[in-house]
Amino acid sequence: MAFSRDPLDELVVPDGTEVKEVAVETDGDVLVGSRATIEFGVRGRNVLAGESVEVDGEIEAEGDCRLDMWCDVAENVLVGEDAYIGERVHIGGELKVAGDLDIGDDVDIEEGFEANGWIVIRNPMPTIVLLFVYLKHLLLIGEEDTAQRLISELVEEEGDDEPDADPLVIPRNATLGDDAWRVSTPATIGSNCRLHGNVRAERLEVGRECNVFGSLRARNDVSVGEGTRIHGDLTTRDGDVVLEDDARVLGDVSCENLRLAPGAEVDGTIRATGEITMETTERERE
């Protein structure tokens, strides 16, 4: 994994992510940038949230859960291993931790907490925050090799516990909800995902065999993978659109240039200020 840029400057939805009625679920870790708002619950392996993150549902972490200062969780926080809760965090339900609990000052847990391991009450700098600060400093001074070695060492320490799935990465100041997923960064959605809500980003890439129950809107290029269904409009202000084999947009498409691979469909109106390219399958010579 290369770290030549800030790891939280893009929305990354890994393969197989599914948004159900009350939560977004993924097999890997969940990394949430500071001041992001998630209007439903979160379920993942390790859940790590930056400063002032708001979660309107429940957090379920199979591994560790780390919440930075001033985070606000509307419902329960259920942790399969250890939990690290920063200063002035608010939890609207109860906190249940199967392992150790490290908790900061002035934390408000409305329905109480329990932990099976050690409980330490203090105000430490969360480990994930310290790691990102150190990595960012290394990148700023051009020590990319040192940063790569640090990440490799951490991965080796985890051993067999490291998940096979890529993490769900939510950038700073993002808003994720049933109505819309809004980010001011590029967005990459993996294959075999099922999402609800209109997706708004700087640039969009959607993988194969996805179902997006909403529209896509970006300032720059948009690509839609094979067999993916977009249940809404697809709009880009200044970019091009590519629809791969058997991709289907059930609404309108508006863009600069449009390329339709064989089997791609647009149910609505196509508005392109540039070229429209419709590819065909190769035919055998008679």
What pLDDT digit, counting tens, does each position of 82-114 carry?
Answer: 999 989 999 999 999 999 999 988 899 999 988
What pLDDT is attached to residue 283?
55
Neighbouring CB atoms inside 10 A of 137's CB total: 11
Q: Residue 29 corresponds to which tokens in the numbers above? A: 């870790």
What pLDDT is attached to residue 3?
44
CB 192 within 8 A of CB 207: yes
* In the chain, domain spans: 11-16+24-121, 127-162, 179-278
What pLDDT is attached to residue 133?
67
Distance of CA 276 to the CA centre of its chain: 32
What pLDDT is attached to residue 153?
64
Instruction: Determine the residue type at 261.
Output: A
What are the pLDDT digits (tens) for 225-253?
Answer: 999 999 999 999 899 999 999 999 999 99
Closest-CA residue to 277 (of 259, 253, 256): 259
How far apart CA 59 and CA 275 sit, in angstroms, is: 46
Q: Phi and psi for 145 in degrees, rounded to 5?
A: -65, -40
CB 90 within 8 A of CB 106: no
Instruction: Determine the residue type at 210.
Output: C
Tell me the Ramachandran region of residue 116: left when phi exceeds 0, alpha when psi lies from -120 to 50, beta otherwise: alpha
What are the pLDDT digits (tens) for 258-268?
Answer: 999 999 999 99
Query: Can you list the residues of the chain whose pLDDT is less than 50?
Result: 1-4, 124, 159-160
Instruction: Determine the residue type at 22.
Output: V
Neighbouring CB atoms inside 10 A of 284's CB total: 4
